[in-house]
Structure 1
């Protein structure tokens, strides 16, 4: 059945699309052309609408940018004025302090004030008034009238006074506030004797908080804006100072005579840093004109109308377009041949072997300019002089069409005389009529590629040398064929060239037994095998009597086959050392227990002396009463029972000591924390009673079983309790602090997971920081008769049970009030559980 492309395409259309397609096909060609003309017309109208929307958007964008610029410039001016006013205020405060502290007179004041006002054009005058508002001295600022030239014809508005209507002027109000509050204050703005808008800063002159007058610094609003508004800000925007009545005191833009200062749509108002009701206003102006008055807009409208007219006349130029297309085809073929090798140097030659075109990449490679190469015939200037014959032969092969398909490798000489390796590819230039017009040659610099290839070869040789020199055996085995693909010198020395040595080391890790390891379709290794490795294993080779640390991973060999690589390192010496170390550790544990019991020998003797003495007394008493025939059967039985009880007590003490010190292999077994604590407390109680130290133990109920060696954990507890008792006894602490607390509680933390924590807390003097840092070191001890192996052994025992041990001082403020040793044993605790009633026992001295 033939495939109908039109029917298949129609089935992919929606019903609406099918209706439109059918309607279009039913129209005549003239009507189709008429409808086709409407498309560009609608596009032009949409373009005009887009231009109008763009103008409107740009106008709003301009207003927003201008508003942000006005805000930024106004804030800059405010910051400049704030810095200037703050600096002047500090200087005036220092002058006021000098008046009181140094007792300067009016002449010195005038000198200081003149020096201060000389570089501050914004100050009109600086006046020193006493507490009765009398002027003691006055200095005018630069460019203003001096006090000797001031007119006395009327009241000076710059001095504190009460007006004729009974209202105080601005200077008087500021004077009263300073006198009352004893701090600096800015007055409201007013016009001085020269009708200039000014405001004043009143600085109090205080002697031990006694008011002696004020220093009055008068600022000119005009000078502030003139000298401290940045030039670039005043060029961009108008900056003005407005008083509380919204009157403009001064502006950087001068209004025309008779015109009123009007607020523009774009402005920003900020308070003047003097905090006296003055407002700093920045104003911006639009630079663009409206849409109707915009010449560009009407130009776009005119261009749109012109475009519509041109669309209507497009059908008249169809024949001219055919001729243009023919010319474009030739140009496109030429450009396409150039673009095919745009990343390399390109050279075009005509049929006479004359260079007609070179691209910039070719010029950059050879160092010759385009003018030096265009029109040149062989020999070309980039041919090395000693290779003219070879290059001429290659050129003849190109002309005859016998160039190798893989290109020819040649030597090219740059303009500076240096030589580099290049590979040239030649292709013919064909015009639209199928006639060859020349050759196009692309050239690639392969100097770096050859250098990399040589380096890779040298690197491979070095890599092979390194592998051959390794003391470890490295082998690669094909999984499918069990073929030994690579083996270094160490492998061949131990196993020869036999792949069975690889299989012996790999053991059960070989993936050849699994049918899923290889893709049946492509023969490539399964993805997950090449992405993961395996854990290191220790393998004993009986034939060599050697132990190996084996690491394996799967990889894809150079031919695509799945292979397994093994690295086997000889660890025989390390295994022997580990065995010797294990034996030494076991001996150290037994030695530590024997040392502990040796130190407790006197206490154990005293502990055994009590039941033995009681047995002797009971026996002597019974012998005496039997001889005198003065004993009843009931009394004899009671005495015998007490004697047996004391003998049993002595036997238990000897049995526990014997179990503690006897040498045995470490055996982990499910153990109860309560029993371990009871045995450790009973043995340690002998030493604690001798040192007059009490112990309080707390063991949480419902604790999980511990998979530990109970004797080793008991040894750790014994060591910690004995150390705590010795610390308390050696410190000579009072009875209230001679006690130890032993706690066993379950815990669960994100770091350690579920575990049981054993903690021993004493009220001793604590440990110095340097002791805490070194206390686990071998043979380090703070005791004069200590051997320094106890805590190190405790740490080894705890870590062999996958636990952790730590020590910390207890503080009451900055004082050390005790020390806590804690170690953990991991258990399966899914989440923290509240501990129930605890086993509480206490032994008092």
Structure 2
């Protein structure tokens, strides 16, 4: 299909180039023909002019010769006057005055002073037929007549072509003889022609059959020369005058006009070539652009992220299918709409309008994005995350805003599922912890219960002894107080375990740091006594309350403390080293908006491999562990906006540390979430 579309276009270009080339060729050919025709016409005109000049000169010569017999002269005087005429006319080689009659006896004669006697090598009588022919014609015409031309040999192998002219003479109307003038054809060419017309040209007399009779000048390369023939029609004889000129060395362009037109044609060809190249480039660019647009369109259509472009006035200029699906409207319904946007919840329109006015005034929202709420056509609300960036054109000017809109519905659902799963895992971990500590709790409860039973039995024995003195009220009061103290101690142990195991919804509240540590202290005392570990609690009562989920933070502290105790198995470190202790502390952080909690043990510390995987779910160094304790601790701390870190302590051991926000700062930062259109 592409070939069928492109081939006619290339065919048109080929035809156009062929026509221009043919036009240029025909133009050059016609120009050359015109130049040659012009040169030929000029040559013909010059040849006719030369023939006319010779004819006119011969007529003038006839008049000059007639002047010799204006008055009767003696032969000697006539000869002197004829010699003067010969000295003025080099074309004449001899003038004779002949008597009337058929014999034509020579009465007087004169030869040209510029040549040797022409008839000195051969007798004049051999030319008698030509002379008689010319004189007969002259008598018949009663005027000058010319004979045929003939070649007259001379000494040293030379010769010349001659022609006789006979002029009849009359006195008182009666024939008085004839005047015969012998012309040299070469002299006619050299003396009776215009030299300016002969410059760089060849001139010759030819016979009717093309035989060359006399040559004044000749040119080389006769076949390539221009020739013009003029007929010199003389009375009694006709000569053919041939004028030759060299052809003008024509180049590719014969003249300036043709050169200009040719240059324009060549320029047109160059422009057409450049235009063709530009068209090919434009076609390639258009094809690349079409492919890029198709690729971008395919990408935009396949995205699950909604894309929206708006101008500086807030009107929508572009939306992709994901955005249309997000708001439940078609692109035709959305493109061109302004404010208020059709997907704004009715109860949030005023707030969105205010925030939109702030952004259009130049106060753009942060690039990292902000949360908002959209409402579909069916009334369902969709939480979204909007990331906006300015649209910059090729001149560097902002023309609008480009928004990427992410649907947070699935993310919120996953977060809720994760939160529920974490709660179940935490409850399972608490139950497992309670199961492990059940024996310790029963042992610890035996002490207050045994003390209560002992105090009660002693009191009953004293009261049942009739012979004994009555028990003083003060002693009885002390005994009952001891029983109450032991019962309260047992109740606190049981309550702390019950509160820890009981599953509750996550509610963040302001809790004093000492309360968090005190809630888990009874559970830790049992493990510490069993393992021979000294429990140290360092919490400043003046620390501000923290905003947290009490149960989850208690579990974090409990898990970290139990891990610290398990890191110090019996005998490591030894009892006499002074290092067999676990320290739980709450201190002021460098940032006054936070309170730091630290759990420090003096175990063997963490290896490099354990540090790399510590906190990874299901990674554990215990044979009976599940690998979820530290992972849950890290998740809980991150949900509170902080992080769980650890570092070695000297001389041995590890300190786990996390931070909780101060209640006043945390509550001050709460409120309705950031909502923007």
TM superposition score normalised by structure 1? 0.41
2:589 corresponds to: 747
CA deviation map 1:502-561 (0-9, x unaligned): 92546669999469969xxxxxx9673689757242536463757453425476699x99
Query: Which residue is equivalent to 1:411?
Result: 272
Q: In the TM superposition, what is the alpha-carbon distance from 1:648 to its structure 2 partner? A: 1.6
Q: 2:569 aligns with which of 729, 737, 741?
A: 729
Closer, same or farther in 2 for the Cα pair 1:552/1:352, shift >3 Å?
farther
Q: 2:622 aligns with which of 783, 802, 806?
A: 783
Tell me, in whole angstroms, the C-alpha distance in 2 between the residues paired with 1:572 and 1:450.
46
Structure 1 residue 664 displacement after superposition: 0.7
Helix, strand or coil for the counterpart of 1:704?
coil
1:670 corresponds to 2:670: no
| 3-state SS of paired residue (2:569) | helix
Q: 1:687 aligns with which of 514, 527, 538?
A: 527
Counterpart of 1:469 (choices 302, 307, 329) is 302
Q: What does the per-residue CA deviation read over 1:249-281, in whole Å, with 9 as the maximum and x for residues that have no partner?
A: xxxxxxxxxxxxxxxxxxxxxxxxxxxxxxxxx
Instruction: Say which of 359, 369, 386 aligns to 1:535.
Output: 369
- 8 Å contact from structure 1 (residues 550, 566) kept in 2: no
Query: Is contact 2:572-2:603 (8 Å) kept?
Result: no
CA distance in 1, matches of 2:291, 2:661: 54
Separation in 1 of the partners of 2:258 and 2:542?
A: 100
Shift of 1:580: 0.8
What is the aligned partner in structure 2 of residue 637 from structure 1?
477
1:443-522 correspondence runs (5 A): 448=281, 451-476=284-309, 484-492=316-324, 494-496=328-330, 497-499=332-334, 503-505=341-343, 513=353
Distance in 2 (alpha carbons) for counterparts of 1:532 and 1:744? 35
Deviation at 1:740, TM superposition (A): 1.9
Label 1:451 to 1:598 Cα distance change in 2 as closer, same or farther (>3 A): same
* Cα distance change, pair 738–585 in 1 and its aligned pair in 2 (3 A): same
Residue in structure 1 matched with residue 114 of structure 2 by the alignment: none
| 1:610 counterpart = 2:465 | no
1:421 is aligned to 2:276: yes
Q: How many residues align?
A: 395
1:575 aligns with 2:412: yes
In 2, the alpha carbon distance for the partners of 1:623 and 1:515 equals: 78
Q: Distance in 2 between matches of 1:621 and 1:561?
A: 92
Q: Label 1:470 to 1:748 Cα distance change in 2 as closer, same or farther (>3 A).
A: same
Given the alignment of the two structures, is residue 379 of structure 1 paired with residue 302 of structure 2, yes or no?
Answer: no
Aligned residue for 2:550?
710
Whether contact under 8 Å (2:371, 2:386) holds in the other structure is: yes
Q: Secondary structure at the match of 1:745?
A: strand
Distance apart, 1:679 and its partner CA = 2.7
2 CA distance for matches of 1:515 and 1:606? 64
Counterparts of 1:454 and 1:602, CA distance in 2 = 80
Give ranges in structure 1 of 5+ residues lacking alignment.
1-349, 356-374, 385-409, 413-418, 423-444, 519-524, 831-845
Any idea what SS the aligned residue of 1:380 has?
helix
Give the Cα separation in 2 of the matches to 1:532 and 1:420. 49
The match for 2:486 among 646, 652, 655 is 646
Higher RCO (CA 8 Å, separation ≥ 6 residues): 2
- Structure 1 residues 617, 764: CA separation in 2 closer, same or farther (over 3 Å shift)? same
SS at match of 2:295: helix
| Residue in 1 that maps onto 2:424 | 587
2:610 corresponds, among 767, 771, 784, to 771
Matches within 5 A, 1:177-196: none
- Residues of 2 paired with 1:821 and 1:533: CA distance? 35
Deviation at 1:642, TM superposition (A): 2.2
Q: Tell me by how many angstroms 1:581 deviates.
A: 0.7
Partner Cα distance (1:638, 1:704) in 2: 38
Contact 2:344–2:374, Cα closer than 8 Å, also in 1: no
- What's the secondary structure of 1:660's corresponding residue? helix
Establish whether residue 655 from structure 1 lines up as the match of residue 490 from structure 2.
no
* Deviation at residue 382 of structure 1 after TM alignment: 6.5
Tell me, yes or no, if the aligned pair for 1:779 and 1:789 is still in contact at 8 Å.
yes
Q: CA offset at residue 709 of structure 1?
A: 2.1
Unaligned runs of at least 5 residues, structure 2: 1-254, 666-677
Q: Is the 8 A contact 2:497 2:523 kept in 1?
A: yes
Q: Distance in 2 between matches of 1:779 and 1:744?
A: 29
Q: Which residue number in structure 2 is paired with residue 204 of structure 1?
A: none
Q: Tell me if structure 1 keeps the 8 A contact 2:496–2:522.
A: no
Distance in 1 of aligned mates of 2:349 and 2:570? 61
1:729–1:709 distance in 2 versus 1, CA, 3 Å:
same
Deviations for 1:463-487, whole angstroms, at most 9, x for unmatched residues? Answer: 334323333443445675x865433
1:66-103 residue CA offsets vs partner (Å, 9 max, x unmatched): xxxxxxxxxxxxxxxxxxxxxxxxxxxxxxxxxxxxxx
Partner-residue secondary structure (3-state), 1:760: strand
2:560 pairs, out of 707, 710, 720, with 720
Structure 1 CA distance for aligned equivalents of residues 400 and 574 of structure 2:
75
Look at both structures and tell me which one has the larger radius of gyration over its CA atoms.
2
1:253-310: per-residue Cα shift (whole Å, max 9, x none)? xxxxxxxxxxxxxxxxxxxxxxxxxxxxxxxxxxxxxxxxxxxxxxxxxxxxxxxxxx
Offset, 1:822? 1.9
Tell me the distance in 2 between the aligned counterparts of 1:512 and 1:603.
59
8 Å contact from structure 1 (residues 479, 511) kept in 2: no
Given the superposition, is the C-alpha separation of residues 561 and 798 from structure 1 closer, same or farther in structure 2, using an over 3 Å criterion? closer
Paired residues of 2:547 and 2:663 also in contact (CA < 8 A): no
Residues 294-333 of structure 1 aligned to structure 2 (within 5 Å): none
Q: Distance in 2 between matches of 1:577 and 1:590?
A: 20
Structure 1 701/618 Cα, relative in aligned 2: closer, same or farther at 3 Å?
closer
Deviations 1:211-238 (A, max 9, x none): xxxxxxxxxxxxxxxxxxxxxxxxxxxx
For residue 223 of structure 2, what is the aligned residue in structure 1? none
In 1, are the aligned partners of 2:305 and 2:405 still within 8 Å (CA)? yes
TM-score normalised by structure 2 residue count? 0.51
Structure 1 707/457 Cα, relative in aligned 2: closer, same or farther at 3 Å? same
Q: Is the 8 A contact 1:479 1:512 kept in 2?
A: no
- Alignment check: 8 A CA contact 1:720 1:760 kept: yes
CA distance in 2, matches of 1:557, 1:821: 49
* 1:739–1:465 Cα change, 3 Å: closer
User: How far does residue 454 in structure 1 lie from its aligned partner after superposition?
Assistant: 4.8
Instruction: Determine which of 805, 813, 817 is the counterpart of 2:644.
Output: 805
Q: Calculate the aligned-residue CA RMSD, in Å.
A: 4.0
**Displacement after TM superposition at 1:604 (Å):** 0.9
